[in-house]
Every structure is written in structure tokens, then in C-alpha cells.
Structure 1
Amino acid sequence: MRWDTLEDEQCSLARTVAVIGDRWSLLVLRECFLRVRRFEEFQSRLSITRHLLADRLKKFVKFGVLRKVKYQDRPARYEYILTQRGLDLYPIVMSIVHWGDTHMVDERGRPLLHQHKNCGNFFDPVMICSECGEPLSAKQVHTHPGPGAPQSPAASEA
């Protein structure tokens, strides 16, 4: 598996890593969820070089995670807004944040608390079964080949 061809792999995890699988991509995505939209603000908050930031934003636009919207003509300036595809990455980001809050905090505690607007409570993200609503853990899940699974050489010869 080559890093520059992950998006072509027949594996959903590899294809996702092709989009969000480096530290700068994840940090840009974090800023998007914190409602940052403009190039200069990303750069200021992340202390990232212009070249790296432009590359990550271009990649997110290419994969449909962000859309680029002009907000000024002279000079041309753009905002980067999460698409539905981008918003669908929220559970992934929150899972990573929760892992960090659980395993990587120091004596000061969590750097951010997350509050549910509907009920007003602070929360920790949990993963549940979409069918029965029970919490999930890795030990409670079995996998089976799906319709997009690669065909084994023996199966394609039959």
C-alpha cells in the first residue's frame, strides 16, 4: 500500500486516511468544527505554513469535505465551509478528542468541554449500535465481507 494511492484502495479506512490521515489535515478539520473559515485565521491559529495550509484546504475541497466560497473580490478571498460530507466527519473528530481527553490530559484537565445545546448537559461522545441503541466496544463487534469487499483470487476464477 502506497501513501499516495490510499484513496484507490478497496478499504474504507484506507480511503478515509487518504483524506484526513495526517496531523495537519486533522488540525485543519478541528478548526473547521470550531467555526474557522478563512485562510488567515487557519494560519494564525495553527502556525502552519501557507504552502501546507493551501495544500490541505485544496485536498479537502477536492474530496468534497469543504467548499470554497468567495467573500471578497479585490483581492479575491475565500471562506472554506464544511459540506455535509465534512460534517459527517464530526463523530470521527469527537472520538479522537474523547480519546485524548481520556488518555492524554495533564493535571489541568480537558482543554475544551462539549455541551449539548438541546439538553444543556456537558457530554462525552459514545458509539452505539444503530439498530438497538446499545453502546459498542471493539470486543462486541464481528465483521463480515460486504458487497464492496475485494474478491479473492479463487472466487474470481470460479
Structure 2
Amino acid sequence: MQTTHIDCSVVKTAEIIGEWWSLLILRNAFHGMRTFDAFQRQLDISSSVLSTRLKKLTAAGVLQKVPSAADGRSFEYRLTPAGMDLYPVIISLMQWGEKWRPNGRGDRMLLLEKRSGRPILGAEVLSADGRPLKAWEVEVQAGPGADEYVRELVGDT
């Protein structure tokens, strides 16, 4: 489904990271993985699919392809500032999966703050004063860049 005609930030983000291989590549990049071979080996993904996803993430400015410091003939894929901003998204997906799709044996991964060694609180939507908010506590309004699609979505027509 081509969705580029829809001017919505969720749609624009999903076009870049919405494929599950892309999410797994990002998850692995956040865990320090950088090389094509490492992604392919750990994910057990075909080289053509991996190449396509890496090119898409690189073209979108989420990853940057740079020459390897260890071997000038190979390349590494590093998270850009835009890629780093996706960290709460990946954490939210992990948390949702642990809550709603548990394996019955316990958390698959523990997320600990390096400095203290304590579990992180996770990703939440916070008020201006730092309180956690639920979806029903947030009012959505059309912003100055909204088109008719967004205005209809938020009931501002």
C-alpha cells in the first residue's frame, strides 16, 4: 500500500521503520551491532532483504554508512541523531511485547541503567511537569502544518 499521499507523521515514520526487519535492524544497532555480516548472521536474514533495508534506513538518515575503522575496505552502519531518537520507540515495543506477548519464562531482555545497575522505568508519555499520562488524558489538536486528512482525524473540520 502506497501511503506517501497521506501527510501524517505516523505514516511518514512507518514508511521508514514500519517493516519488521527494519525494527530488528534498529534494535540490533542499539545493542551495538554495526556490520552487514553481524546483522545477517544474528537476524538470519537474506543478504538482498538486509541490503534493501539498510539502504532505506541510510537514505532516510536513520543510519549512516561509514568506512570501518578496523578495516578500510568494509563499512559499518551507525545510528545518526535521527536514529538515536528512535530509542524510546524500540523500548516501547519491547515493553509492550513483554507485557502482552510474554513467553512465560520471564523477560527476554533486561534494560538496566549502566551507572546504577537498576532497571530503567521505560518509555512513557509525560506531562510538562513529568507525570505519566494515559491516552485519554491527552488532547490532540491540528497543528499549523495539518492538512485536511489530519484535521479530519483530530475532529477539527
**TM-score normalized with structure 1 length:** 0.87
Q: Matched residue pairs, number?
A: 147
Counterpart check, 1:40 vs 2:60: no
CA RMSD of aligned residues (A): 1.6
Aligned with 2:25: secondary structure? helix
1:57 to 54, 59, 82: 54
CA offset digits 1:36-57 (Å, max 9, x no partner): 0000000000000000000010
**TM-score normalized with structure 2 length:** 0.87
Aligned with 2:88: secondary structure? helix
Aligned with 1:115: secondary structure? coil
Unpaired stretches in structure 1, ≥5 consecutive residues: 153-158
2:132 to 125, 135, 145: 135
Q: What fraction of aligned residue pairs are identical, expressed as a percent?
A: 38
Q: CA deviation at 1:128?
A: 3.5
Q: Identify which of structures 1 and 2 has the higher relative contact order when contacts are C-alpha pairs closer than 8 Å and 6+ apart.
A: 2
Q: Which AA in structure 1 matches 2:76?
A: E
Q: Which AA in structure 1 matches 2:34?
A: R
2:98 to 88, 98, 101: 101
Misfit runs of 4+, over 6 Å = none
2:25 to 28, 39, 57: 28
